Amino acid sequence: MFEEGYFSSNEVIFIVVVSVIYLAAIWRIFEKAGKPGWAALIPFYNCFVLLEIIGKPYWWFFMMFIPVVNIIFAVWIFNMLSKSFGQGEGFTLGLILLSIIFYPMLAFGNYEYQGPAGEVKR
C-alpha cells in the first residue's frame, strides 16, 4: 500500500508547521533588529542579514561551506545572536539544542535587540 521513501501526511504536516514557526520567528527577529522581515524568506540573503544583525563581516558566510569549520562558526553565530539580544551562553545552548522553542522565545518574547554583539572593526 505504501511505498518506501515517501513521507506520511502526518510527517508532512509536522514539517510544514515547524517550518512556518521557524520562518515567523526569524521574520520577527529581523524586524526587532531593524531589518526587513521579508529578508528571512530569501535563501542566502537571510544569512547576510543575520551577519549584519550580529555585527560580523560578510566573509563569514563563506566559512559555512568548509567542513568542521562550519560547525564552529554556526555555534559562534548562535552565541552572537544571543548576545545581540542581551542573553548569555545558556540561551545560546537553547538556540542550538532546542531551536524550535528558543527562536520563537527570542522572536515573540520580551527580548530587545541591543545592537550587534560583535561589531565589525573598521
Q: pLDDT (tens digit, 9 = 90+) per residue, 19-70?
A: 999 999 999 999 999 999 999 999 999 999 999 999 999 999 999 999 999 9
Band (pLDDT 50/70/90 cuts) for residue 119 is low
pLDDT at 8: 80
The domain segmentation of the chain, as residue ranges, is 9-108
H helix and E strand count, the chain: 6, 0
Name 35's Cβ contacts closer than 8 Å, sequence gap at least 6.
49, 52, 53
Q: How far apart are the first and last CA of the chain?
A: 62
pLDDT at 98: 95
pLDDT at 55: 92
Q: Is residue 122 pLDDT above 50, yes or no?
A: no
DSSP 119: P
